[in-house]
Structure 1
């Protein structure tokens, strides 16, 4: 029996995440979300007009949760925590990145979702730039701003995720270990200049 139509958007997003894990992206529908949440389909449509909008809200929720968790960490651990979080979601069966790239592909034909997904990426870029500004007194390479470094690191994480989704044998652990070494090398350049 369906619950009364009193359910929060956040609770629907939680149910939608569970539904995606259970049914997969191919069988994910607003009707399936309603069934998983124990509410009417109309309740889901009240909060989310389209499946793509719900997918976007899920991606935004995951991103915000991830950045919130990273931001709570103490200063020296921000980078290692961020890399560990990104590596944990980088796999051939990554739920998060399948979702992210599905929404990204859908957004190419839907300007509203495209704009909202752009805002999610912008928030990630700003968070990365702020974290870098806390760790680095200046850019390790003259002419490359901290903002651009934030864009680079975000693009690397998404690019690595795409490669891992498409290649079962993609060397995730090795690649992230070397990405951490790259970051450390850039940090060492700054420390030498500051001495």
Structure 2
């Protein structure tokens, strides 16, 4: 196997993002990533053994950047608005994040390693949601529903909306996210009113 050029994984991940935007997932290859990064195909294989591994690392990178950006928000109301805007952007039919995520989800049905790694991504997202909810809500707005469950619920809700938006062009994504924000505001008021 070829020794890597002096290039780090992040440069290759960034090149992979550009490839996905320019070529789409159907024409996405490790060779195309190598060309975009200006390195040999062996360099890409050195860092990522398979196309699926590169795609998984790409999903992790997008999630990590999104959660890091959200964590920078100081005002709790801004966190909610920023998180919903980020989720809406990742759910649009032009965004490749959910296309990529769902493609890997399907691949995980036949590949245990991909399944385990996607499970780690989901657990990290659920944990991040729980941590943010814990800062905003003193306690769950509904008795018997834990903040951990709310985190999983919101994560699944966003992913479910993304599926609908990718499949059906009739989804009113702007309206949905506006109403989701109102739902969150209502739940926050319920949480604040609980003693």
TM bucket normalised to smaller: over 0.9
Q: Which residue of 1 aligns with 2:48?
A: 48
Q: Which runs of 4+ in 1 moved over 4 A?
A: none
User: TM-score of the superposition, structure 2-length normalised?
Assistant: 0.95
Q: Which residue of 1 aligns with 2:73?
A: 73
Q: Which residue of 1 aligns with 2:126?
A: 125
Two-structure CA RMSD over aligned residues (Å): 1.1
Q: Which residue of 2 aligns with 1:87?
A: 88
Query: Is the 1:70–1:82 Cα contact (8 Å) retained in structure 2?
Result: yes
Q: Which residue of 2 aligns with 1:33?
A: 33
> Cα distance, 1:112 vs. partner?
1.0
Within a 5 Å distance, the mapping from 1:134-173 to structure 2 comes to 134-173=135-174
Q: Which residue of 1 aligns with 2:102?
A: 101
For these two proteins, the number of residue pairs brought into alignment is 191
Cα distance per residue 1:11-54 (max 9 Å; x no partner): 00001110111111001011111111111111100011111110
SS for the counterpart of 2:93 is coil
> Cα distance, 1:93 vs. partner?
2.5
Which runs of 5 or more structure 1 residues have no equivalent in the other structure? none
SS for the counterpart of 1:58 is helix
Q: Which residue of 2 aligns with 1:176?
A: 177
Which runs of 5 or more structure 2 residues have no equivalent in the other structure? none
Q: Structure 1 residue 188 and structure 2 residue 192: aligned?
A: no
User: TM-score of the superposition, structure 1-length normalised?
Assistant: 0.95
SS for the counterpart of 1:185 is helix
> Cα distance, 1:159 vs. partner?
0.5
Q: Distance in 2 between matches of 1:189 and 1:9?
A: 45
> Cα distance, 1:169 vs. partner?
2.4
Q: Distance in 2 between matches of 1:39 and 1:58?
A: 18
